[in-house]
């Protein structure tokens, strides 16, 4: 079993992680900055305070900053829900030939968000996975290099 300090940090990270995911599964910090610059600045400051407390603070400091961080993420969600800002933490693409819907997102929780909003099954990929796919398609990568506006309309099975 870990030390009491390790358990405190784990508890704080779990608490904050859930609140943070509620925000990040839907929006980017840049969206908050555009909508409410003061809240964005306060949240970024709180992130720094939280991170410092996790590394050098006492258990009491860590718990206090974790609670403040949760309040900060909740305030950010509230600020973007009223009036409702559209989700922008992910991109959705559709291959109309097959009906395949793909979500490109850093946060895996975005899939649940897309499914709950649109009620549809989706495949999630990260930006790095998209880069690997394009890199693996040599012809596509070369065409896009020389003709950035070229559009991939169809893929034939090998």
pLDDT of residue 67: 98
Q: Read out DSSP for 67-115? A: HHHHHHHHHHHHHHHTTBPPP-SEEEEEETTTTEEEEEES-THHHHHHH
Across the chain, what does the average pLDDT equal? Answer: 89
Between these two residues, 53 and 133, which has the higher pLDDT value? Answer: 53
d(CA 58, CA 26): 32
Q: How confident is the model at residue 5 (pLDDT cuts 50, 70, 90)?
A: confident
Mean pLDDT of 9-23: 95
Q: Residue 101's CB: how many other CB atoms inside 10 A?
A: 17
The answer to whether the Cα torsion of 102, 105, 110, 111 is positive or negative is positive
Between these two residues, 121 and 35, which has the higher pLDDT value? Answer: 35
- Given a cut of 60, is residue 1 above it in pLDDT? no
Contact 105, 111 (CB under 8 A): yes
Contact 34, 87 (CB under 8 A): no
Mean pLDDT of 132-157: 86
pLDDT of residue 89: 87
Angstrom CA distances, 155 to 98, 124, 136, stand at 11, 19, 14
Mean pLDDT of 84-101: 86
pLDDT of residue 43: 98
pTM for this prediction: 0.72
- Given a cut of 90, is residue 155 above it in pLDDT? no
d(CA 123, CA 109): 12
pLDDT of residue 91: 86
């Amino acid at each position: 079993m870990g030390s009491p300090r390790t358990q405190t940090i784990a508890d704080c990270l779990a608490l904050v992680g859930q609140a943070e995911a509620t925000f990040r599964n839907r929006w980017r910090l840049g969206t908050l900055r555009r909508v409410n610059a003061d809240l964005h600045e306060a949240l970024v400051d709180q992130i720094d305070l939280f991170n410092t407390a996790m590394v050098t603070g006492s258990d009491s400091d860590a718990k206090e900053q974790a609670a403040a961080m949760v309040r900060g993420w909740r305030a950010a969600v509230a600020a973007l829900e009223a009036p409702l800002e559209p989700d922008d933490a992910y991109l959705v693409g559709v291959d109309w030939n097959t009906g395949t819907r793909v979500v490109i997102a850093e946060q895996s929780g975005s899939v649940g968000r897309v499914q709950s909003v649109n009620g549809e099954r989706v495949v999630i990929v990260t930006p790095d996975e998209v880069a690997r796919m394009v890199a693996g398609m040599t012809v596509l990568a070369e065409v896009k290099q020389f003709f950035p506006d070229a559009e991939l309309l169809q893929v034939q099975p090998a």
